Chains A and B, each alone.
Chain A
Amino acid sequence: MIVTSQPGDAVSSSPKRRRVSLFIPCLVEDFFPEIGEAAAVVLDRAGVAVDYPEAQTCCGQLAYKTGHRSETRRFARHFLETFARAEAVVSPSGSCVSMVKNYYPSLLADDSTWAQAAEDMAGRVFELSQYLVDVLGLKDLGASWPGRAVYHDSCQVSRALGVSEQPQALLRAVAGLELRELDGADTCCGFGGAFSLQFPEVSERLLDDKVAAIEASGAEMVVSAEVSCLMNIGGRLAKTGSPVKALHLAQVLAGKEARS
């Protein structure tokens, strides 16, 4: 069930409403659509007008990070075309935002048609918590989610985007939620995209270390702003029958009812 927000619930609307275009990464589109829904609900509750450009596909991160730059340019041009008129682009996945923000400009630097668009886009694409805290200046979204939580400080959110305080500030404002320290919170969970397929044994070892730290914290949930880490960590927790849940920040902020 999606909770329909009441106008003026948490934030009063400003005269000119801000508008964001949702950028739904391919993993969210097909495997974790509820994270996309939660992100839409949270932005809506924050008083922002949300749209979803339906021509969007994928940012091309996998192609880029395996070295295939010529292929990635096709993804990049399509993305820039799709979001050309967006006032701001917001996504619930740090790595995809980092792809657009940190790599599109250099990737298209020699493309006279798209270089400027890539530069401009880098300044208006945001990871969800970054948008809520840095752009909107919000911390308390009126969310409630009782329980003990730890925050996994994903590499692609914390180091690639410099976003670490923002999601934790949002979590601290969630009613009933106790945010605990996670030992090695900013240590990689071992996913690394194609790395987890090419070096499976190493990836699994790092994942087990991460899961052990989460379980040792006594938390009932691990929260992250990065979908791929959640797929990795949550997949392991589920496989081992752990009671700990892996949740996206957007899901927690949307409230329990949003977990369709």
Chain B
Amino acid sequence: MKVRTDRIKEMAAAAAADQGLHQTLLAAAGRFRQLRQGGVAAFDDLEKARDQGRRVKERCLAELDRLLPRLEKQVRAAGGRVHWARDAAAARAIILGLARARGVKRVVKGKSMMSEEVGLNQALEQDGLEVFETDLGEYIVQLAQESPSHILAPAIHKNKQEIAALFADKLGVDYTDDPEELTRIARRVLRQKFLQADMGITGGNFAIAESGTLALFENEGNIRMSTTLPRLHVALIGIEKVVETYRDFDVLRKLLTISATGQKLSTYLSLITGPRRDGELEGPDEFHLVLLDNGRSRILADPLLRQSLYCLRCGACLNVCPVYQCIGGHSYGWVYSGPIGCLLNTQLLPRGQGGPAPFACTLCGACAAVCPVKIDHPKVMLHLRWLMAEDPAWPLPRPPAARLGLSLYAWLATRPAGFRSASALARLLAPIAAPGGKARLTPPAISRWGRTRRLPRWQRPFSQRWPGLRRRLGNREEPS
């Protein structure tokens, strides 16, 4: 997937001007929030569960070096194969290699952000394979030749009229914007693809080390079909998806579905331990698990940044993020979006390629308040801002004037007399420095601010008012 994270400001500005997009996102995110709220209301002690979930992720990631080999051993014992991929290119090569060796022609896919992360569809198509997304939202996005704009709802940026027009154009069906009819059309098309496919590719929500089991949650049934109908099933997951036991899994799976859609359990839950065994009627001939690092072990090394890897991909943080609901997923310029996207894009991409994503946030904290594993997004965001501002390994070009201004401000902050003199000078210059005044002393960004809001005016400062004020207060004691 093309990286455009450096253009986040321009893309956000364009998206913010799109009132239709904003309304679509507000409505869709609002529905998700309502669903979550309904589930949360019926959930017994969510706070306790979130703490438990957090501890499970902390422990499992701290013991990754022990859990991953255990997972591999158990998957093998169940008849599956495990592949290790250091980066996106390695993951693509492994899956392409499998497809070639087995003479695969058609691939059906379950929704997977990992697949977006490694640019899998493009690689497979370039190799002459036919690739079909089978999640309804993902199918819509594929037809439109776009990328998903939400972890959970890939086509959240489209309203039903846009989808109707897309189906009429690409599938040659009569225009209908009835969601049920549109779903029927997609189902009819995709049913054929399932039956013809040689390989099913999915992601995975959790991998349980003690049994070598892959867990997949969905509501449409397409993942169940992708993992059972084709003769090959390949699952691509990040190394952070491993948990140790079924007990760990049980803690997290409740949090995942409640946070995503307010469900106690999704409509389908597939627990896959190896391929079809002798005597079994259903399931693939081969099961391959691809474990991808792609920068994750580097994130793991930093004790504060590490929590970015606890993410369950429930999407709750996107649904409460005011910025996300204004600019949509595509504006973030790479695979992930919203609060978690600001963190993951910045850290998964090579340093310096993430753009100013951690600054595309008002630090309002709505995300952290709903995160099922208590990721403190604002804290991580601030940590990344610090690395970008002060660590040469994290370059972010910054206007020298802003930097100089800040240094001066910090210098003055420890010199009260200088601090007061500087504001007295600014107050004096204010009449001519104001936007529209004789001197152009107001920075453009402040002038811009003032185009839509009345700029605050310099007043006789509090410090000068204090002596008079103090005499009027009931308090007559001298400050100690």
Interface residues of A (CB under 8 A from B): 2, 4-7, 19, 24, 26-34, 36-37, 40-41, 44-45, 48-58, 60, 62-72, 74-75, 77-78, 85, 155-156, 159-160, 186-188, 190-207, 209, 231-232, 234-236, 238-239
Contacts and interface: CB of A to CB of B under 8 A. Distances in A.
Contact of A236 (B323, B327, B416, B453): B453
16 contacts: A4-B474, A5-B473, A29-B423, A29-B461, A31-B456, A50-B473, A57-B414, A57-B415, A67-B386, A71-B406, A75-B413, A78-B413, A186-B366, A197-B449, A201-B17, A234-B454
Tell me the dominant secondary structure on chain B's binding face: helix
A55 B417 CA distance: 8
Nearest to A25: B462
B267 interface: no
Interface in B428-471: 445-446, 448-449, 452-463, 465-466, 469-470
Contacts of B363: 65, 155-156, 192-193, 195
A33 B462 contact: yes
Given A30-B426, A58-B419, 10 more contacts: A40-B469, A41-B473, A60-B410, A66-B389, A155-B363, A188-B364, A195-B363, A200-B448, A205-B22, A236-B452
A107 to B, nearest CB: 10
A58 B359 CA distance: 22
B360 interface: yes
Nearest to A39: B462
A119 B376 CA distance: 21
A68 B413 contact: no
Q: Give the 3 A-B residue pairs with the shortest CB-CB distance, closest first.
A: A192-B362, A235-B453, A67-B389
A199 B412 CA distance: 28
Contact of A195 (B361, B416, B459): B361
B39 to A, nearest CB: 20
A30 B427 contact: yes
A201 B13 contact: yes
B247 interface: no
Contact of A160 (B365, B416, B474): B365
A177 B446 CA distance: 35
A237 B154 CA distance: 37
B322 A206 contact: yes
A57 B453 contact: no
Nearest to B458: A30
Contact of A29 (B17, B390, B413, B463): B463
Interface string B351-392: 000001001111111101100000000000010011111100
Contact of B456 (A40, A60, A159, A235): A235
A7 B474 CA distance: 7
The range of chain B's interface size is 35 or more
Interface in B142-191: none
A74 B456 contact: no
A155 B480 CA distance: 35
B364 A202 contact: no
Nearest to A208: B452
B285 to A, nearest CB: 50
Contacts of B359: 66, 194-195, 198-199
A33 B459 contact: yes
Contact of A202 (B327, B453, B477): B327
Given A201-B12, A202-B12, A74 B366 contact: no
A231 B456 contact: yes
Contacts of A77: 414
A58 B463 CA distance: 13
Given A30-B423, A33-B460, A204-B452, A57 B412 contact: yes
Interface in B1-23: 9, 12-13, 16-17, 22
Contacts of A65: 363, 382, 385
B326 interface: yes
A2 B445 CA distance: 36
A239 B427 contact: no
The interface centre, meaning the residue of A156, A195, A203, A205 with most chain B CB atoms within 10 A of its CB, is A205
Contact of A70 (B390, B414, B427, B466): B390
B445 A60 contact: no
A186 B411 CA distance: 35
Contacts of A62: 406, 409
Contacts of B452: 200, 204, 207, 236, 239
A204 B473 CA distance: 40
Contacts of B196: none
Contacts of A72: 410
Given A71-B407, A188-B362, A32 B459 contact: yes
B126 interface: no
B458 A197 contact: no
A6 B473 CA distance: 9
Given A67-B390, A191-B362, A195-B362, A232 B453 contact: yes
Contact of B457 (A31, A186, A195, A206): A31
A74 B410 contact: yes
B462 A36 contact: yes
Contacts of B413: 57-58, 60, 74-75, 78
